[in-house]
A and B are shown apart, each in its own frame.
Chain A
Amino acid sequence: MIKRLLCVHAVVAVVLSFADVARCDQATGDRFVDPPATIDRYLVESWRQTSIEPSARSSDAEFCRRVWLDLAGVAPPVWQLRTFLADPAPDKRDRLIDSLLDSARFANHMANRWNTFLLPADAAEPNQENAAAMHGWLRQQFLKNTPYDHLVGGFLTAGGKSDRGPAIFYTSRNLEPVKLAAATSRLFLGVQLECAQCHDHPYARWTQEDFWSFAAFFAQLRLSDSDMRGGGQAIEDRSGGEVMFPESDRVMSPRYPGVSSPPETDPTDFRRRQLTIWLASRNNPYFARAAANRVWAHLFGRGIVDPVDAMDSSHPPSHPELLQFLADYLVEQRFDLRALYRVIARSDAYQRSSEIRDATRPPADSFAAMNIKTLSASQYFDSLRQNVLMGTGSPAGAQTARTEFLRRMDAADADPSDFPHGVVQVLGMMNGPEMLAATMDQQSGLIASMDAPFFDDADRIETLFLACLSRPPTDAEQAQFLAYLKTTSEQPLKERLSDLTWILLNTAECFVCP
């Protein structure tokens, strides 16, 4: 009885969602004339209602560090930062956003992020070659700016000889329909369908029927025989495999969650293609919303629905109209992810400071002050390598050091609003081999570069700040650091610079995106 009620519920909800989509289609064209302004309008209205005072606009340095770390995955290189700070043009932020979005670094960073999302947390290490193949595949898609629906469609139906990259998504889950259904619904629909694996979902509309008939889309996966020899992994769909409803002999036929009618038959019974036709389509009310929410969460450190993979009734959106607008915009832009990144990054909201002076900090889900995001281990290491180690030592050595650092600091599922590390990791930060390399003049390119004859102490301190924190020192900091260089003069200059580098690299400021 309860199950039937839930089913009815589901149908009603889907009808409502379709109504939402229909209403958007009818909206007048000017809805998308100035999307950044529209984003800000929704937010400003919510702050007015709740009497929240937003923070000030970020400084150029704060913005530059943020947008580099978010879009390129590293802190700005010192010379780029200097050029940006010196540029008087009023449109320099827009130009920086555009150039980063068009850069190979963006594609690389996005591939890093999606590799983490797509692979079970333990899968990357034992399967490095295959994880690298998927990274390469994703990077290509982001370089070409493949529309998101095509990307997901291509990803889900891939696995043959020509595109082995995505196969690891399936093989790392042992081709098990249950795991694949769970991962697919989390990633691309933003819902945790797997909670309905054993019982009807208590907080959401999903039933056990929904889960098992969704899992049936993955029932026919097989490792391809022809490719077992080559060492690579290829997969294919073969008729015959089925999923049974638990503790019954009932074969589940594939069905889209929350949709009562069966999918159209596929000429070759390629079930993953059947799934993709609905999943990555504008008729699926969850797909664009989940994608837009993930982009927002990437840039603001938390989703409009949070967490991003639990978009159910127990996690209502903080700004429902805004989320709908972003999803509609993404559909209107034919799932051009870069376009969505661009308009959000151009909004005042994204360019607000995370600094709050003499006032209470607005709640994180109001987006009235930028949320401070903890860097991932790769963001920290790559920034360190680029700005401090500066390519000293062999590339292979640097790669080994990177792998080792990521292993020690592994926190694949960490929320950026959390600091996931404990004493073990922090001891490694303070006393580990990367820090040693970064603070020893023989290995630290940054400290070696301080030898330049035209540098005085003030220049040196400014360069250290730009390299480590992406900003010049304040007057007070300048004075303190100068005093440090002068009072301990029995030490050689390089040792004192090494101390200052160590200090900056171990600050909280160096481990966050402001």
Chain B
Amino acid sequence: MFQPPVFTRRQSIAAAVSIGGTIGISPLMRSIAAVAAEEPANDQRHCVLLWMSGGPSQIDTFDMKPKHNNGGAFEEIATSVPGLRFSEHLPKLSGQADRLAILRGMSTKEGDHERGTTVMRTGHALGGPVRYPAIGCSLSKSLRNPVSKLPHYVTIAPGPFARSSLSPGFLGPKYAATSVSVSGPPGSDNFAALRVDHLQPHPQVDAPRFQRRLALWESMQATFLQTRDTPNVVAHDTVYRSAIDMLGSDAKDAFDLTGEPDVVRQAYGSGTFGQGCLMARRLIERGVPLVEVTLGDGLGWDTHANNFDQVKRLSEQLDVGWSTLMTELADRGLLEKTTILWAGEFGRTPAINSNGGRDHFPQAFSCVLAGGGIAGGQAYGATSADGMEVTDGKIDQQDLLATLCAALGVDPASENIAEGGRPIAISEGSPIRQVLL
């Protein structure tokens, strides 16, 4: 049985240092310490965006109101952090609450799916004169790994909805996310099948044939470049060579989950989200700076009716996928270099409607930060007893994104140049110091 250790690497090493000399250290701790000592200096940071499509219910997850009529059907449970309580359907995450900072004072102005998605993903309202890039594009540009053959930003199962909010905007298509999609029904092993678009040559083109094509292609490119070495022609050649490098390298194995033991695949959950979290771990191990995993294909969290059954089911997927990802990253010493943001386009109404559902609610909802750079084990901000308004620590999407940047060591004020030469900061908000390490 797969048994997740319960401490972070940082804690393990601290423990090893403080107690190792006197009472000896366990074999597990010794091996982790050894790995840490041998690790080459590598300051590559990573970001995982866990996107909850449809707008997750804060009251049924991270901001429970058990004493109020609005509280709903779920019980709250204690977590590893005294005083911090989550939904009963998040037991594994409760065990890792020391890694999570719950932001309970989120508030935006957009209660429509497309507009809300755009605001949360880009920091800006839809329809302005500037095409703001998705935060994943800006961050992957700042965090990009110059030696990696893999893409800088991979989005897993993004679903068909509000695709323009994933757009690199004025940064240009170079910074677009590589999309991993669900390639059909689960295989015979019952795990969700995930596939990168256009990663494989056409089926009738086998490897030797592809190599023959490339050989003659290279010669054509070289001849043309000899007399026409303008920047756009050189860039075409460079980008093609990176793509060909990736196709020919082991790096693309990162996308192949069949090499993972079944027990590990099972630990993440067999659905799209769980397998996506496993792929995220494999990509981060190989140096990819930014991975986004979507839960709720289409608008799964849009629980206007029958809220509790749906949120229970989604919470179970969320709980195993996310908690196993943190555990496995921590085992590899990568959690402290990886900042995780959990968010959707808005929250849901505290009041329960006549269909047993909850409706769109951007006024007061929760997001969660975890991992590298984040002071876990706390809730920042609070909502009123009925959940209707933020009473403390009110923040908007700009503050949230600025905090994410700061946790990753990226200055939120760093500027990119928009159309027409206008410099635009990644985020104009103020980082929340209390949740940063």
Q: Which of B216, B219, B227, B239 contacts A357 (CB 8 A)?
A: B227
A503 close to chain B: CB less than 8 A? yes
A424 to B419, CA, bound (A): 22
A171 to B129, CA, bound (A): 13
B35 close to chain A: CB less than 8 A? no
Which size class do B's interface residues fall under?
35 or more
| Residues of B contacting A435 in the complex (Cβ-Cβ under 8 angstroms) | 202
Q: Is the CB–CB distance between A372 and B216 below 8 Å?
A: no
A509 to B209, CA, bound (A): 22
| Residues of A contacting B231 in the complex (Cβ-Cβ under 8 angstroms) | 417-419
B198 close to chain A: CB less than 8 A? yes
B313 close to chain A: CB less than 8 A? no
Q: How far is the CB of A409 from chain B (nearest CB, A)?
A: 7
A251 close to chain B: CB less than 8 A? no
Residues A361 and B229 in contact in the complex (CB < 8 Å), given A507-B217, A507-B221: yes
Residues A420 and B173 in contact in the complex (CB < 8 Å), given A427-B197, A502-B213, A509-B224: yes
| Residues of A contacting B197 in the complex (Cβ-Cβ under 8 angstroms) | 427-428
- Considering only residues 416-436 of chain B, those with a C-beta below 8 Å from chain A are 419-422
Most buried by B among A125, A309, A508: A508
Q: How far is the CB of A361 from chain B (nearest CB, A)?
A: 7
Residues A307 and B129 in contact in the complex (CB < 8 Å), given A414-B172, A421-B174, A512-B233: no
Binds B, one of A78-86, A178-186, A316-324, A393-401: A178-186
Q: Which residue of B lies closest to A186 (CB)?
A: B420
B11 close to chain A: CB less than 8 A? no
- Considering only residues 156-182 of chain B, those with a C-beta below 8 Å from chain A are 164, 167, 170, 172-179
A128 to B421, CA, bound (A): 29
Q: Is the CB–CB distance between A354 and B212 below 8 Å?
A: no
Q: How far is the CB of A402 from chain B (nearest CB, A)?
A: 17
Q: Which residue of B lies closest to A315 (CB)?
A: B421
Q: Which residue of B lies closest to A506 (CB)?
A: B217
| Residues of B contacting A481 in the complex (Cβ-Cβ under 8 angstroms) | 216
A120 to B235, CA, bound (A): 27
Q: Is the CB–CB distance between B421 and A307 below 8 Å?
A: yes
Q: Which residue of A lies closest to B237 (CB)?
A: A508
A99 close to chain B: CB less than 8 A? no
A354 to B131, CA, bound (A): 33
Q: Is the CB–CB distance between A419 and B127 below 8 Å?
A: no
- Considering only residues 485-499 of chain A, those with a C-beta below 8 Å from chain B are 488, 491, 495, 499
Number of residue pairs spanning A and B whose beta carbons lie under 8 angstroms apart: 168
Q: Is the CB–CB distance between B216 and A194 below 8 Å?
A: no
B26 close to chain A: CB less than 8 A? no
B73 close to chain A: CB less than 8 A? no
Residues A506 and B240 in contact in the complex (CB < 8 Å), given A430-B198, A431-B201: yes
Q: Which residue of A lies closest to B165 (CB)?
A: A122
Residues A356 and B228 in contact in the complex (CB < 8 Å), given A183-B129, A427-B199, A488-B212: yes
Residues A431 and B199 in contact in the complex (CB < 8 Å), given A121-B131, A499-B212: yes
| Residues of A contacting B67 in the complex (Cβ-Cβ under 8 angstroms) | none
Q: Is the CB–CB distance between A409 and B173 below 8 Å?
A: yes
A146 close to chain B: CB less than 8 A? no
Q: How far is the CB of B137 from chain A (nearest CB, A)?
A: 11
A480 close to chain B: CB less than 8 A? yes
A186 to B129, CA, bound (A): 12
Q: Is the CB–CB distance between B173 and A508 below 8 Å?
A: no
Q: Is the CB–CB distance between A431 and B220 below 8 Å?
A: no
B200 close to chain A: CB less than 8 A? yes
| Residues of B contacting A120 in the complex (Cβ-Cβ under 8 angstroms) | 127, 129, 131
| Residues of B contacting A174 in the complex (Cβ-Cβ under 8 angstroms) | 127
A511 to B219, CA, bound (A): 16
Q: How far is the CB of A65 from chain B (nearest CB, A)?
A: 13
Residues A125 and B236 in contact in the complex (CB < 8 Å), given A427-B199, A507-B217: no
Q: Which residue of B lies closest to A180 (CB)?
A: B129
Q: Is the CB–CB distance between B209 and A355 below 8 Å?
A: no
Residues A413 and B419 in contact in the complex (CB < 8 Å), given A418-B235, A424-B178, A508-B233: yes
**Chain B interface, >50% SS class:** helix
A39 to B404, CA, bound (A): 54
Interface string of B180-222 (1 = CB under 8 A from A): 0000000000000000011111101000010011001101110
Which size class do A's interface residues fall under?
35 or more
Interface string of B242-285 (1 = CB under 8 A from A): 11001100000000000000000000000000000000000000
A345 to B49, CA, bound (A): 51
A393 to B178, CA, bound (A): 29
Q: Which residue of B lies closest to A356 (CB)?
A: B227
Q: How far is the CB of A110 from chain B (nearest CB, A)?
A: 21
Q: Which of A122, A413, A477 contacts B164 (CB 8 A)?
A: A122
A506 to B172, CA, bound (A): 21
A241 to B246, CA, bound (A): 57
A507 to B233, CA, bound (A): 10
Residues A484 and B421 in contact in the complex (CB < 8 Å), given A183-B129, A409-B173, A430-B198: no
A502 to B172, CA, bound (A): 26
Q: Which residue of A lies closest to B242 (CB)?
A: A423
B151 close to chain A: CB less than 8 A? yes
B232 close to chain A: CB less than 8 A? yes
A183 to B126, CA, bound (A): 17
B225 close to chain A: CB less than 8 A? yes
Residues A424 and B172 in contact in the complex (CB < 8 Å), given A174-B127, A509-B224: no
- Considering only residues 148-179 of chain A, those with a C-beta below 8 Å from chain B are 172-174, 179
Q: Is the CB–CB distance between B421 and A417 below 8 Å?
A: no
Q: Which of A374, A413, A427, A436 contacts B232 (CB 8 A)?
A: A374
B230 close to chain A: CB less than 8 A? yes
Most buried by A among B164, B198, B212, B232: B232
- Considering only residues 107-132 of chain B, those with a C-beta below 8 Å from chain A are 126-129, 131
A432 close to chain B: CB less than 8 A? yes
| Residues of B contacting A439 in the complex (Cβ-Cβ under 8 angstroms) | 202
Q: Which of B127, B176, B232, B247 contacts A422 (CB 8 A)?
A: B176
| Residues of B contacting A15 in the complex (Cβ-Cβ under 8 angstroms) | none
Q: Which residue of A lies closest to B126 (CB)?
A: A122
Q: Is the CB–CB distance between A419 and B243 below 8 Å?
A: no
| Residues of A contacting B201 in the complex (Cβ-Cβ under 8 angstroms) | 430-431
A224 close to chain B: CB less than 8 A? no
Q: Which residue of A lies closest to B176 (CB)?
A: A424
Q: Is the CB–CB distance between B129 and A179 below 8 Å?
A: yes
Most buried by B among A173, A409, A495, A502: A502
A307 to B228, CA, bound (A): 23
Q: How far is the CB of B304 from chain A (nearest CB, A)?
A: 23
A484 to B421, CA, bound (A): 48
A208 close to chain B: CB less than 8 A? no
- Considering only residues 380-404 of chain A, those with a C-beta below 8 Å from chain B are none
| Residues of B contacting A427 in the complex (Cβ-Cβ under 8 angstroms) | 178, 197-199, 243, 247
Chain A contacts to B: CB under 8 angstroms: 120-122, 125, 172-174, 179, 182-183, 186, 192, 194-195, 307, 309-310, 354-357, 361, 364, 371-374, 409-411, 413-414, 416-428, 430-432, 435-436, 439-440, 476-477, 480-481, 484, 488, 491, 495, 499-500, 502-504, 506-509, 511-512, 514
4 closest cross-chain pairs (CB), A and B: A419-B235, A422-B174, A508-B236, A427-B198
Given contacts A426-B242, A476-B223, A495-B209, 14 further A-B contacts (CB under 8 A): A125-B164, A310-B421, A413-B172, A414-B172, A419-B232, A419-B233, A420-B174, A421-B239, A422-B173, A425-B173, A426-B243, A430-B243, A500-B216, A508-B237
Q: List 12 A-B contacts (CB under 8 A).
A: A179-B128, A186-B420, A355-B228, A413-B172, A420-B172, A424-B178, A424-B179, A484-B212, A499-B213, A499-B216, A508-B236, A512-B233
Chain B contacts to A: CB under 8 angstroms: 126-129, 131, 151, 164, 167, 170, 172-179, 197-202, 204, 209, 212-213, 216-217, 219-221, 223-225, 227-233, 235-237, 239-240, 242-243, 246-247, 419-422
